[in-house]
Amino acid sequence: MCRTRARGCNSVSRDTGGKLAMTAKRGRHREKPIRVGVVGVGRGQSFASGATELTGMKLAALCDTWEERLREVARRYRVAAYTDYNRFLEHDMDAVVLANYFHQHAPFAIRALEAGKHVMSETSCNSTLAEGVALCRAVEKSGRIYMLAENYPYTRFHMEMKRLYDNGEIGDVTYAEGEYNHPMSPRDRLAISPGMNHWRNWIPPTYYCTHALAPLVYITGRMPVRVNALSIACRELDRQTVRRGDPGCVILCRMDNGAVFRLFGLILPGHSNWTRVHGTKGAMEITRGPGYFGPGLVRVWHEPWDCPRGAPTERTYVPEWPHHAHLAERAGHGGGDFWTNFEFANAIRTGRQPFLNVYRGVAMSSVGILAWKSALRDGAPFEMPDFSKEFSRRAVENDNWSPFPEHAGQDQPAPSVLGFVEPSAGGVRLAKRVWKSVGYKGGV
């Protein structure tokens, strides 16, 4: 095994990343800091703590309906606190970061854009195809920056894989695999999903696909055009929880260059965060092994006839960050939480939409929706709209199909291929005990 430095890494914005990095290193942002408001004081604290002088950002306000926790966090950061989103949007700030519930981002983003704010949204962008259309239109009309805060592309190994791909190391992608499989104990799962109708208890396994898909899109630049999927149902795994959705799935995406991407997740036993890309001249992957992201090594290999003269046919090494290693190493999700803030600030300062723009974000989020439609039809393929084209958007602008209870309509799909399954009595009893222990005061 050898070590290498990812020199000239192309993973940050090509035109401006280096300039911003140099300015940040010297601590000499001459512009006024970007004033940021964060919605959600749970996951949102990662973004609040990342609004620092290094990226030229400053936390201005927080918003949440959990008033007790909101006041506590706001006191710690010494910023304004709001329980009313409309009043929050009136605060003097430039940008809003959405870290509220998974299926609620699009309506909040649209209101922020209409209020003249730049928006960075946690996953996912949209919970229905209609929301995706409305969001794309709102970004276009506003002229503001919109970014999907998908942090998995911004690990050091994915950034290195992008550098290798951009340099032509493996040629053009033909096949790729992404896995995000994150099992948790029943108690831990219940603790982060309080209430019978919490989104985590109803989400189908295909919807949480961007952690597996986004690194592949980031590395290769390819976009999905057709989706099909199969769900993995196993009620035995959920008897101690109140989850109604299936625990696993496999998604296949046909990409715009003809390549096939395979995605796997979600909470089946056997933790796995893994990425592999095959191209016309070779292949590369994150090596498997113990740890949240495995050993953190990149493996690159070529057939002898495709290998550059004098180069090894295979090498495995520890990649390095392009810069800001000390900050990235301290951030959550393998450094991704730092880089999402960094890229968002960079986009605002330059006025250029980021790589994870609204079109890529909505398309990747919509993979999960179309994949679930496919799974309920035992793998039938579904075409992906081109969300950058108005004629394509019109075909799905009224598609409000959603498995979440608050969106329930006559055609509400089940979150499991087994139908609308009821939680076990034991799961409900354990849920009540766990929710009480974490301070949940809502109804069951």
pLDDT of residue 198: 96
Look up the CATH superfamily of 2-148: NAD(P)-binding Rossmann-like Domain (3.40.50.720)
Mean pLDDT along residues 47-63: 88
Does 169 score more than 50 pLDDT?
yes
Grouping H, G, I as helix, E, B as strand and the rest as coil, residue 30 is: coil
Per-residue pLDDT band at 30 (split at 50, 70, 90):
low
Q: Which of 261, 289, 251, 254 is nearest to 273 (CA)?
A: 289
Burial of 399 (0-12, 13-18, 19+ CB in 10 A): middle
pLDDT in tens, 68-82: 999 999 999 999 999
Architecture in CATH of 153-329+355-407: 2-Layer Sandwich (3.30)
Mean pLDDT along residues 419-443: 92
What is the rounded distance in angstroms from the CA atom of residue 425 to the CA atom of residue 428? 5
Average confidence score pLDDT of the chain? 90
Type of residue numbered 415 = P
Give CATH 3.30.360.10 domain extents, the chain. Answer: 153-329+355-407
**How many residues are given for the chain?**
444
Does 31 score more than 80 pLDDT?
no
pLDDT in tens, 259-275: 999 999 999 999 999 99
Does 23 score more than 60 pLDDT?
no
Greatest mean pLDDT among 4-18, 50-64, 222-236 = 222-236
Q: Where are the alpha helices (DSSP H) in 120-260?
A: 129-142, 156-166, 186-191, 199-202, 210-220
Does 15 score more than 80 pLDDT?
no
Does 128 score more than 90 pLDDT?
yes
pLDDT of residue 13: 40
pLDDT in tens, 357-387: 999 999 999 999 999 999 999 999 999 999 9
Give CATH 3.40.50.720 domain extents, the chain. Answer: 2-148
Does 304 score more than 50 pLDDT?
yes
Mean pLDDT along residues 285-289: 96
pLDDT of residue 206: 99
Are the CB atoms for 268 and 290 separated by under 8 Å?
A: no
Mean pLDDT along residues 37-53: 87
Mean pLDDT along residues 419-428: 95
- The total of other beta-carbon atoms located within 10 Å of residue 86's CB is 9
